[in-house]
Structure 1
Amino acid sequence: MNKFVTAGIVVVAIAIGAGAMFGAMRFLPMNRAAHAQSTATTADPAHPKAIFFADLSGIVVSVPPQAGAPATSYVQIGMQFATYDERAVASFTTFQPIIKSAVINLLMSETSAALQDPTTRAALIQNCLDAANSVLAKDAGDRTDKPFTAAYITDFVVQD
């Protein structure tokens, strides 16, 4: 009799396992589809937004080697501005002379000795980014946030 009880328990356990597997196969795909549909409208880290770059290169400025000295050193710089908004690149192209002028003014306020310091370069990058965003804010249209999210120095030469 003990063998019959054990066999009965095994049969019941198999039946419960089969029922659970059937239920999982039946209902989990619907949950996955609903989850996929609800996350399709949110940002998907597997599919990041396209990033666009605006190029500002070929800037050469004479700067003094130290404060109070005549401008005998030269700085050549190239930058890339990053954005997720393709319209910002078109606006950048339109307003590039104004942005380039702002970057030149920022460089002319530095010395070649100061530009060797990484913290000065980091501040210069942030100031150039702020200048580009400030110029493009005047042509914002329906944009409310800053069009460029980052700036990168792609060419940097200081010659004494």
Structure 2
Amino acid sequence: MPKYLLIGLGVLLFLAMAVGDGLGIMAYLKLRSLPVQSAAAHVAGGSGSAAGKAAAKPTPKAPPRPTAENANFVEIPQFVVTIPARAPNAGTNGNAGDANAADGSAATAHPAYLQLSLSFLTESQRAAKDFAKLMPMIKSAIISDVMSSGLSPNGDPVKMKHQISEYSLQAANTIVSQADAKVGKTPFVGAYVTTFVTQ
């Protein structure tokens, strides 16, 4: 009896492997019959890999901007961020290094203060209500991002405003979407710096 059981299990195992191999071969042949993708997609991951398939998909369209009828702005009132002082980078031989930061600004001897207010655009009433409830968390994340970013008040103010807008939009979308999955991953489509004063 145990002999027949072992033989039966062996046959079932063999059949399962044969079916699996057959399905694998069919999947491979289907991929081979697809039209040739661009060289960039092939280099990114080949035609059979997940990266290659992702590269072959068309890029998603940007979300449509809300119309004036359904646009909702939520605001963070004026607040002040301290931008820490930056010392010049030391050279490798102990000599003074480059005093300029990545944004082309010079090192600052004293901390600077940045007064900001921000507006966020959404078309979701739910996202606007969630934003109001979560504003302290969003504001804290923005302050942390600005302080740790290495931005300098001596740098290009247009670049600085753009970076702050990006940090702010990312922080608001992340915090609100994690707190309420019903609003989606990007409930806010824009962040706008409405007050920008450096001291």
Judged with a 3 Å threshold, the aligned counterparts in structure 2 of structure 1 residues 139 and 76 are, in CA distance, closer, same or farther, namely same
Distance in 1 between the 2:133 and 2:178 partners? 12
Residue among 119, 124, 129 paired with 1:90:
129
3-state SS of the aligned residue for 2:141? helix
Correspondence 1:53 to 2:92:
no
**Offset, 1:61:** 1.6
5+ residue gaps in structure 1? 1-46
Distance in 2 between the 1:129 and 1:143 partners? 15
Distance in 1 between the 2:173 and 2:117 partners? 17
Judged with a 3 Å threshold, the aligned counterparts in structure 2 of structure 1 residues 120 and 139 are, in CA distance, closer, same or farther, namely same
**Offset, 1:71:** 4.4
Aligned partner of 2:153 in structure 1 is 112
Aligned partner of 1:152 in structure 2 is 192
Distance in 2 between the 1:145 and 1:134 partners? 7
- 8 Å CA contact retained: 1:133, 1:147: yes
Count of matched residue pairs? 111
**Offset, 1:49:** 4.4
**Among the aligned pairs, what percent are the same residue?**
28
5+ residue gaps in structure 2? 1-66, 88-107
Alignment of structure 1 residues 19-58 onto 2, 5 Å: 49-58=69-78
State the TM-score, normalized to the length of structure 1. 0.62
Correspondence 1:131 to 2:151:
no
Distance in 1 between the 2:110 and 2:123 partners? 38
Hey, which of these two has a bigger chunk of helix by percent? 1
State the TM-score, normalized to the length of structure 2. 0.51
**Offset, 1:73:** 1.6
Write out the 4+ residue segments of structure 1 that deviate beyond 3 Å after TM superposition: none
Distance in 2 between the 1:96 and 1:48 partners? 24
3-state SS of the aligned residue for 1:113? coil
**Offset, 1:121:** 2.0
With a CA cutoff of 8 Å and minimum separation of 6, indicate the structure with the bigger relative contact order: 1
Q: Which structure has the bigger radius of gyration? A: 1
